[in-house]
Structure formats: structure tokens, C-alpha cells
Amino acid sequence: MTPLPQGAGPLFSDPSANHAREAFAKKPRAPFDKLMTVAEAVSRFVQDGDYLAIGGFGGDRLPTAVCHEILRQGKQNLRFAGHTATHDFQILCAGNQTGRGKLLARVDNAYVVGLEARGLSPHARRVMESDEVEFCEWTNYALAVRFKAAAMGLPFLPSRSMLGTDTFRHSAGKAMACPFTGEILNALPALYPDVAAIHVHEADRFGNCRIQGTSVADLDVARAAKKLIITCERLIPTEEIRQDPTRTVIPFFCVDAVCEVPYGSYPGNMAYEYFSDEEHIRKWLEVERDLEEFKGFLDRHIFGVKDFTEYLQLCGGLARMQELRRQELLLHLGR
């Protein structure tokens, strides 16, 4: 019998469930006040060389402030999971080849570089075509399954995609025979990120979170991550959480930091709150074409501001947010 094929790509994280248990054993269980600034959260919980996961779907429910702060604090040599990473990937790539060292070192690619219908990011292309970042190929579902395996406390889970393709050959997946049916499956290694950041609608100061709309892979990412930074549109009282616990989708003991960041997904979309700022995202894509112009843009918008509130001011402040809220609620269509 010929051996089953294996992907030749590198594995950027440790899939061992036992090693992960050792890390989870150290996490505090008792609820305590985790409210802090984004700057403090990133400074305390994101270390150089960490494996980072970002919640949401690229430009939807994105923890933008955390991405900015990682860039602003000059974090180096991060590993990253790119499952439809669009504007988040753009922000992180701004830490490569802009004279500030190398923010991204290794990337698990499922969807990177592109911004869906908006086109490709010129700077993300610059970074990914430069040979300075190591990468490994996956699919969106494969990364979702890898997070799910970790959330379950397992070393792997099987799935049925990727088989037979170059995507598989450049991944670290391994084909296996099902022990019950003999059917060929793709074994996907669990992905336990060192740190993850997720933006939610509401959280209390202990970290109990509510999300409205699609959850993408975030409920698994939250449970898979060894450290978790939550940014929320609104901080709410714990009594409100306890009045309707069915709405809690991430429990407090998964969470290490809670940061209240209104309009925190900007320029991304936040369901039921505000639509994406397509003009601003287009601006990023335009300035990225010329590296010097891009550096100037970053100096003004990221390095020259002290926090995300100042960035929002630069981008049109409350008036702009009001317009995006109208777009989200379809009021601009006369509803």
C-alpha cells in the first residue's frame, strides 16, 4: 500500500494538546477586573515572536485598535493566521519593509494580500513577494478547523478539503485513513495561538462577551488562544450579562484584557452599528503604491497619534461615524 501524501509546508505552531493544557492550567479562573487601555493590553500580552490570531473577517468586526497598537509598539517576528485577513493583514504588513524591522515573520495563508472585491494590497504584495516572510498554505475552513481542534483541546481534527491540490502540498496537513471506514481524510494540526484579539459588541469588565451577527471563527479562536485581548463597542454591567447568559458567547475565564473601543472595527464594518468606510480603505490601497508616501501616511495616522480615538478624529470623527451608521442601517436608501 502506498503511503498517504503529506504536505511539505512548515508547521509554525505547536499542536500538542498536552503542552497547551500546561499553558491553560496557568490561566486565572476567578473573575477580576480586566479593564485596561489597548496600549497596556498589547504591551502586557503580545510578545515578540508570538503567534497572533485576529478575530472577525478581515474588514468585518475587526479589532483595528489592537492591530494599530501592535504596529505602533514595534512588535517583531510575529507568526500570524491569515483566514480572510484583509485590512488587518494590511495593517500588520505595514510593520515590514517600512524601516521598522520585521513585524511579520511567518504566515499561515488562507486568504491574505487581497481585500476581496476591492483588489490587492500593493504593500502586502511587496511584503509577500520579497522572500522575507516564510509561509504555509491553508484554506479558510482548514484554519477554522485548526482553531476548533485547539478549542476542543485536541492535537488535530480531520477534514475533507485541500486533498489533491498544491494548496495541500504546500500545507502541513497529512492525509490519513479513517480508522472506521478507510476513507481518506486530511488531518489538520490544532492551532493554539499565543495571543488573539477579538472585537465584540458588548463585554463586561471581567470579559464576558456578546457578539451580534456572524461569529466567523471567533468562538473557537477565543478558546484556542493562550492569551486573549477583547475590544468592545460598549462596556456593560455584569448584572446585564447575568440577566441573559444565553447571549454570552465568550466566557470571562478565556479573557485576559478588556478594552472599551467605540467604533473599534473602523474602517471595517460592525454589524448593526456602522458600515465599512470604503473611501478610507481605498485611501490605504492608494497610498501603499508608493512606499515613501505610505510611510508618510503611517507616520501621520498610526505613529503620530497616541491612540485609536485620535485616528478616528483624523478620519472624520463623529460626523463620519454618523454617516457610516446611516449606511449600516440602510437609512441612506430612504428606509
Partner 1 sequence: MPYNPMELMIACAARLLEDGRSVAVGTGAPCAAAMLAQRTESPKLVICFEAGGVAPQLPTMPISVGDSRTFYKAAMATSMADVMETCQRGMIDYTFLGGAQIDMFGNLNSTMIGGTYQKPKVRLPGSGGANDLASFCWRIFVVTNHDRRRFVPKLDFLTSPGYLTGPGAREAAGLPPGCGPYRVITDLAVMGYHENTKRMEVVSLHPGVSLDQVRANTGFELGVREPLETTQPPTPIELKILREEVDPHRYIIGRC
Name the residues that contact partner 1, by CB under 8 A: 56-61, 82-84, 86, 109-114, 116-118, 120, 124-125, 128-131, 134-135, 137-142, 144-145, 148, 159-167, 170, 175, 183-186, 212-220, 269, 271-272, 275-276, 278, 328, 330, 333
Contacts of 63 (CB under 8 A, 6+ apart): 54, 55, 56, 88, 197, 198, 199, 229, 231, 261, 264, 265
C-beta closer to partner 1: residue 249 or 315: 249
8 Å CB contact between 226 and 195: yes
C-beta closer to partner 1: residue 42 or 248: 248
How far is the C-alpha of 95 from the C-alpha of 300, rounded, in Å?
Answer: 15
**Which residue, chain included where needed, has cell 509554525?**
12
C-beta closer to partner 1: residue 33 or 134: 134
Q: Considering the complex, what minimum distance in angstroms separates the CB of residue 209 from partner 1?
A: 15
Q: Considering the complex, what minimum distance in angstroms separates the CB of residue 330 from partner 1?
A: 6
Q: Considering the complex, what minimum distance in angstroms separates the CB of residue 164 from partner 1?
A: 3
C-beta closer to partner 1: residue 131 or 244: 131
Q: Beta strands 227-235 and 257-260: pairing type?
A: parallel
C-beta closer to partner 1: residue 239 or 244: 244
C-beta closer to partner 1: residue 46 or 136: 136
Q: All 3 cell numbers of residue 93? A: 504588513
Q: Considering the complex, what minimum distance in angstroms separates the CB of residue 333 from partner 1?
A: 7
Q: Considering the complex, what minimum distance in angstroms separates the CB of residue 161 from partner 1?
A: 4
C-beta closer to partner 1: residue 41 or 254: 254
258-297: b (≥16 Cβ within 10 Å) or e:
bbbbbbbbbbbbbeebbbbbeebbeebbebbeeeeebbeb
What are residue 80's DSSP bridge partners? 52, 107
Closest listed residue to residue 163, CA positions, set 7, 328, 19, 327:
7
Q: Considering the complex, what minimum distance in angstroms separates the CB of residue 153 from partner 1?
A: 16
Q: Beta strands 156-159 and 134-137: pairing type?
A: unpaired
8 Å CB contact between 262 and 235: no
Q: Considering the complex, what minimum distance in angstroms separates the CB of residue 315 from partner 1?
A: 18
